[in-house]
């Protein structure tokens, strides 16, 4: 999470499954007084000349004294407030009254994430839960590695005035922004001193100014991402509700994050995965959690007319639909005759 200094662990409460000696060996200080003592410690240690970083396990209930202590001590640190799900507690959704309102979003020393969402090119159905959409767009960036605030700018012109869309977006913490401010928003992001990740929904056209802007940002190693909605065809109908599910958003995301290319929400492997593996030699695995698919082509050939990329994407989307977040996936297709008919476009 980006913290590399000394860490002290305090365990509170009278009932422990481990002896005091075992806790001492693990460098954990046991305080039997429980949650009340924890709340006091938080307040005392937060109001020092050297502010501390805290992690509370488990998350306290909103009506508890401990929760009030967390809010109190974080509000006391340079006016900050807790960030939950990409939103800062107590903040209200900005209203884009003029260009100065847009400028203020990009000022300051905080590394914010931004989402530029064209609600005309990528609309949501009238029965969609817009609050869930906002939460899951932020959750997608969080799962990719950004844990700060996320500002979602909805560009839509007259579209924003239909079916109370503007009111619903405001309630979801999404900022309604005039379409003509898009170019200014690009300039402000490029000029910001502490740029966070930028996600664009949907993926811009190749000949658009926004696409050229994203290309420039990639060249200077900014974290830029674009979301391509699911395809609209007979085999894979357009999922109008995909923005309500973080794992589906991630599965549609390409770009650059942390200096590494992102393809369909996963870090691209340096080597080509579409190769014939020589199993007479040790198998080379990639770092991180990897899903493995074993496919017997003798019994079930590849579907006709499907490319390797299409097959890979279909399998990967099936994992994501079941709630699995994949960093890597390998498909091993077994066949006796390398020169035989495998099916598909091979």
234 pLDDT above the threshold of 50: no
Same domain? 16 vs 133: no
Whether residue 4 lies inside any domain: the answer is no
Same domain? 170 vs 257: yes
The predicted structure's pLDDT at residue 221: 86
Same domain? 121 vs 233: yes
The predicted structure's pLDDT at residue 127: 78
Better pLDDT: 56 or 279: 56
Whether residue 209 lies inside any domain: the answer is yes
Same domain? 206 vs 127: yes
Whether residue 220 lies inside any domain: the answer is yes
126 pLDDT above the threshold of 50: yes
Better pLDDT: 266 or 106: 106
Whether residue 1 lies inside any domain: the answer is no
Whether residue 263 lies inside any domain: the answer is yes
Tell me the three-class secondary structure of the chain, residue by residue.
CCCCCCCCEEEECCCCCCCHHHHHHCCEEEECCCHHHHHHHHHHHHCCCCCCCCCCCCCCCCCCHHHHHHHHHHHCCCCCCCEECCEECCCCCCCCCCHHHHHHHCCCCCCCEEEEEECCCCCCCCCCCHHHHHHHHHHHHHHHCCCCCEEEEEECHHHHHCCCHHHHHHHCCEEEECHHHHHHHHHHHHHCCCCCCEEEECCCCCCCHHHHHHHHHHHCCCCEEEECCCCCCCCCCCCCCHHHCHHHHHHCEEEEECCEEEECCEECCCCCCCCCCCCCCCCCCCCCCEEEEEEECCCCCECCCCCHHHHHHHHHHHHHHCCCCCCEEEEEEECCCCCCCCECCC
Same domain? 149 vs 285: no
Same domain? 111 vs 31: no
Q: Please, which pLDDT band fits residue 40 given cuts at 50, 70 and 90?
A: low
Final residue belonging to a domain, choices 55, 80, 105:
80
10 pLDDT above the threshold of 50: yes
Whether residue 202 lies inside any domain: the answer is yes
Same domain? 34 vs 96: no
The predicted structure's pLDDT at residue 272: 43
Same domain? 205 vs 333: no
Domain count, the chain: 3
Q: Please, which pLDDT band fits residue 345 given cuts at 50, 70 and 90?
A: very low
Q: Please, which pLDDT band fits residue 226 given cuts at 50, 70 and 90?
A: very high
Q: In 3D, which of 158, 93, 169, 162 has the Cα closest to residue 130?
A: 169
Final residue belonging to a domain, choices 227, 250, 267:
267
Same domain? 93 vs 75: no
Q: Which domain holds residue 129?
A: 88-267
Whether residue 62 lies inside any domain: the answer is yes
Whether residue 173 lies inside any domain: the answer is yes
Mean pLDDT of 40-55: 58
Same domain? 134 vs 204: yes
Same domain? 279 vs 314: yes
pLDDT tens column, 238-253: 456 788 888 888 888 9
Better pLDDT: 138 or 302: 138
276 pLDDT above the threshold of 70: no
Same domain? 116 vs 229: yes
pLDDT tens column, 168-188: 899 999 999 998 999 999 999
Final residue belonging to a domain, choices 242, 267, 292:
267
**pTM score:** 0.60
């Amino acid at each position: 999470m980006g913290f590399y200094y000394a860490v002290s662990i305090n365990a509170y409460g009278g009932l422990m499954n481990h002896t005091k000696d075992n806790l001492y060996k693990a460098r954990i200080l046991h305080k039997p007084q429980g949650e009340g003592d924890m709340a006091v410690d938080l307040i005392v240690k937060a109001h020092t000349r050297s502010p501390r970083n805290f992690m509370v396990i488990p998350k306290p209930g909103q009506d508890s004294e401990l929760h009030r202590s967390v809010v109190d001590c974080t509000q006391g640190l340079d006016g900050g407030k807790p960030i939950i799900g990409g939103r800062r507690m107590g903040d209200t959704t900005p209203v884009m009254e003029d260009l100065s309102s847009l400028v203020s979003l990009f000022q300051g020393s905080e590394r914010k994430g931004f989402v530029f969402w064209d609600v005309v090119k990528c609309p949501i159905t009238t029965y969609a839960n817009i609050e869930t959409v906002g939460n899951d767009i932020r959750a997608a960036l969080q799962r990719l590695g950004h844990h700060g605030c996320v500002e979602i700018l909805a560009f839509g012109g007259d579209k924003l005035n239909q079916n109370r869309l503007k009111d619903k977006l405001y309630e979801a913490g999404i900022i309604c922004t005039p379409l003509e401010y898009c170019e200014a928003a690009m300039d402000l992001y490029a000029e910001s001193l502490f740029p966070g990740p930028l996600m664009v929904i949907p993926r811009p056209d190749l000949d658009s100014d926004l696409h050229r802007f994203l290309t420039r940002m990639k060249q200077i190693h900014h974290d830029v991402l674009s979301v391509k909605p699911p395809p609209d065809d007979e085999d894979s109908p357009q999922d109008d509700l995909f923005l309500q599910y973080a794992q589906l958003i991630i599965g549609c995301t390409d770009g650059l994050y942390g200096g590494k290319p992102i393809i369909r929400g996963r870090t691209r492997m340096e080597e080509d995965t579409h190769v014939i593996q020589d199993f007479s030699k040790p198998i080379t695995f990639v770092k991180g959690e990897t899903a493995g698919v074993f496919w017997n082509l003798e019994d079930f050939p590849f579907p006709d007319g499907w490319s390797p990329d299409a097959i890979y994407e279909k399998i990967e989307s099936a994992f994501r639909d079941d709630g699995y977040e994949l960093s890597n996936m390998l498909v091993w297709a077994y066949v006796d005759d390398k020169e035989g008919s495998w099916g598909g476009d091979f």
